[in-house]
Chains A and B, each alone.
Chain A
Amino acid sequence: MEATLRVLNELERDGVITRYAIGGAVGAIFYMEPFLTYDLDVFVVLPETAGGLLTLAPIDEALKRRGCTEEAECVLIEGMPVQFLPADNLLLEEALAEARETAYAETTTRVLRPEHLAAIMVQTGRDKDRQRFSTFLQDAALDAGYLQGVLERHQLSDRIERWKTVI
């Protein structure tokens, strides 16, 4: 995974992406017990093109030049399927802006805060998000006040109340 993270750092350094942070299952695993997953979700802020469009094409092109291949919705980077997800709503923008720098072996990377990961689970709202959310609340050291602020800012408090009735 370290080689994959080095490639992500190079994409950011080269301006292909403005900023990235690990989210999804691997992001959650930074804060809780490990569980099964097969891909690495990477949230990205993309540089705007001249026409104002946001597109993943520059990432695809930069990775193809490195010999990376596409596989379903992922790109295989150094043996790891990576899915790039644009930060296309206010919650994701905030999550990326406030993501934490951390070390993986000798390499610096960035991971979403646990409170944002929890809020994204609530916003995404699939069955597996609800199941993971329940365990995540127990395992991860969350700042309850910070989480409440995130949920309120992004109108997710009602949804979490509904979830509590079925968890």
Chain B
Amino acid sequence: MENRDLNQLLAGKQRRREELTRLPIEEKIRAVIRLQHLAAHILKQRGKKVRCWNIASSDRA
């Protein structure tokens, strides 16, 4: 991979993080809940007890 491609990739990644940072907090919390569901299965298989947030419909995706 050329340096130019790598720099474009890294710049794109940084732009995405900046976009996510600027999201309204309510949208960020919806993203956290999606992450919780994605990770819960793996964590439970490792023996870790986790509870995904079961909160009001306004907080859900």
Contact = CB atoms under 8 A, between A and B. Distances in A.
A104 B53 contact: no
B34 to A, nearest CB: 9
Interface in A50-109: 71-72, 76, 78-81, 102, 104-105
A2 interface: yes
Interface residues of A, number: 28
B25 A29 contact: yes
Given A1-B53, A3-B55, A81-B51, A34 B26 contact: no
B15 to A, nearest CB: 12
A3 B21 CA distance: 24
B3 interface: no
Contacts of A139: 17-18, 21
Interface in A120-158: 138-140
Interface in B7-61: 17-18, 20-21, 23, 25-26, 28-29, 31-32, 35-36, 39, 49-56, 58-59
Given A33-B17, A139-B17, A2 B59 contact: yes
Contact of B55 (A4, A29, A31, A38): A4
Given A34-B31, A34-B32, A34-B35, A79 B25 contact: no
B55 A34 contact: no
Given A34-B29, A104-B25, A79 B55 contact: yes
Contacts of B54: 79-80
A49 interface: no
Contact of B32 (A36, A102, A138): A36
A71 B56 contact: no
7 A-B pairs with least C-beta separation: A33-B20, A79-B54, A34-B31, A34-B28, A79-B55, A36-B35, A139-B21
Given A1-B29, A29-B28, 19 more contacts: A1-B55, A1-B59, A2-B55, A2-B56, A29-B25, A29-B29, A29-B32, A30-B25, A35-B35, A36-B35, A36-B36, A38-B52, A78-B55, A79-B55, A80-B54, A80-B55, A81-B53, A138-B17, A139-B18
